[in-house]
Amino acid sequence: MVDDIEFIAEMENKVNSGDEILLPEAQRLLNTANVQILAETANRIARRFSEAQVDVEMLLNAKSGSCPEDCSFCAQSSFYESRINKYPLLEKETVLGRAQKAKESGADSFCLVCAYRSPPENDFNYICDIIEHIKKCLDIDVNVSLGFMTKERAKRLKMIGVKRYNHNLETSETYFSQICRTHDFSDRLNTALIVKEAGLELCCGGIIGMGETAMQRLELAYSIRNLSPNEVPINILIPKSGTPFENLHGVSPIDAIKTIAVWRFLMPTPIIKIAAGREVYFRDSDNLALKAGANGIITGGYLTTNGNDPSRDMQMIQDIGINQG
Ligand code: SF4
C-alpha cells in the first residue's frame, strides 16, 4: 500500500484530472497524520480551481430571533431562552446603510439574512422592495437567506437580481433528527433544489462540532456535493447559552482544518467559506483556514456573534499573498 504522502499526491492528481474522490479515499485523507501536507495540497487545489482569490461576504441579520423552528444550535429559536437582541424586519434605509458599509469595507457581497421558517407574505414583499432598492443604489452582489422557499418566491428573487441563496443542510441526514425536530433533512434539501431550479446560485453548507461523528461530517459533505453548490460555508459550532447545545465543545482546530481540506478534495470548484467559529477556534491563526483549502470568509460578524473588523480581515488576506475576489 502507498504511504500517506504518496496517497495525498495521488488524490491531488485524481482531482486535477476531474475525477471524484470516493468515500473510502476521503476517509483515508481524513485519517492522515500528515495534516500539514493535506492542508497544503488542499490549498493548491483551491488556488488551481479558483484563480487565487478569496471571496469576502458581509452579513446582516435583518430580522432577529422568534423563529418557530427548534434547531438545537440556534440562539434565534423561540424554543430557547437565549440572550440575544431580537427585532422585527429592519427598515429599508437601515438595510441599505449596512449594504453601503459592506461595499465601503471592500466586501464582494452583502447577504441579507432573516430568522424565519419562511417569511410571511408582507415581509417577503418588503424584503423584495429592499433588495430592489439596494440594487438600484449600489453596485454590490446581494445574497439572501430567508428560510424555506417556494418555486414562485425563488423565481421572484432571481428576477429582482438576487445572486445567491443560502440554505444550509446543517448536518448529515443520519444526524439531523438530533439537531432539529420541527423540520427534517428532506425539507432543507427541497429548498436547495428549488433555489437551483429557479436559476439562483446556491450557497449550501453546514455546521461541524454538533456532536456528529467524523463519518457523518463526510456524509454531509457528499450530500452537499451532490447539489453542486456555488458556495459551501463551513461553520464551527459556537455553543450558545440557553440552547440544548450550550455545553458542546465544537471541534479542535486540527479537526476543523482537516475537514476544510478534505471537503476541498471533494469539491474543487465552489467557494469554500470558513464562516462562524473562525475567530473563536483559530483565534489569531485564522489565516490557516485560507491555507488549507478555504477561499472565502465572512467578515464583520455573524447573526448573533461578533466577528473581526473587516479591515483586519482584508489585511489578513493581503498578508497571505492572495487576492480578494
Ligand atoms: S437555524 Fe434558522 S430555522 Fe433554525 S431556529 Fe435558527 S433561524 Fe430558525
Residue 126 Cα, ligand 1 centroid: separation in angstroms? 20
Q: Is 206 helix (H, G, I), strand (E, B) or coil?
A: strand
Domain contains 73: yes
Q: At what angle do helices 23-30 and 4-16 cross, to 10 degrees?
A: 130
Q: Is residue 18 part of a domain?
A: no
Which distant-in-sequence residues (6+ apart) come within 8 Å of 233 by Cβ? 166, 168, 203, 205, 206, 273, 274, 275, 296, 298
pLDDT at 324 over 90: no
* Mean pLDDT on 221-243: 95
146 lines ligand 1 (CB under 6 A): no
DSSP of 54-93: EEEEEEEEEEBS-BS---TT-TTBTTS------B-PPPHH
User: What is the separation of C-alpha 211 from the centre of its chain, rounded to a whole number of angstroms?
Assistant: 19
* Residue to probe by mutation, ligand 1, list 63, 69, 87, 304, most atoms within 8 Å of CB: 69
**Digit-coded pLDDT (tens) for 22-61:** 999 999 999 999 999 999 999 999 998 886 688 898 899 9
Distance CA 18, CA 246 (A): 41
- Give the pLDDT confidence score for residue 323 in this predicted structure: 59
Residue 208 lies in a domain: yes
Quick one: which atom of ligand 1 is closest to the CA of 67? Answer: 8
CATH number of the domain within which 263 lies: 3.20.20.70
pLDDT at 325 > cutoff 70: no
pLDDT digits (tens, 9 = 90+) for 77-125: 999 988 888 999 999 999 999 999 989 988 889 999 999 999 999 999 9
Q: Which domain holds residue 246?
A: 49-314
**Ligand 1 pocket mutation pick from 59, 64, 71 by most atoms within 8 angstroms of CB:** 71
Mean pLDDT of the chain: 91
Answer whether residue 229 is part of any domain.
Answer: yes
Q: Residue 52: its pLDDT value, please?
A: 63
Q: Is residue 107 part of a domain?
A: yes
Residue 4 lies in a domain: no
Is residue 320 one of the residues assigned to a domain? no
With cut-offs at 50, 70 and 90, classify the pLDDT of residue 322.
low
Confidence (pLDDT) at 142: 96
pLDDT at 318 over 80: no
**282 confidence band (pLDDT: 50, 70, 90):** confident
Q: Tell me whether residue 40 is in a domain.
A: no
Number of structural domains in the chain: 1
Nearest CA residue ID for atom 2, ligand 1 = 115
Atom of ligand 1 nearest to the CA of 70: 5
What is the mean pLDDT of the segment spanning 156-172?
97
Mutate to test the pocket of ligand 1, among 77, 89, 144, 149 (most ligand atoms within 8 A of CB): 77
| List of residues 6+ apart from 188 with CB closer than 8 A | 167, 168, 169, 170
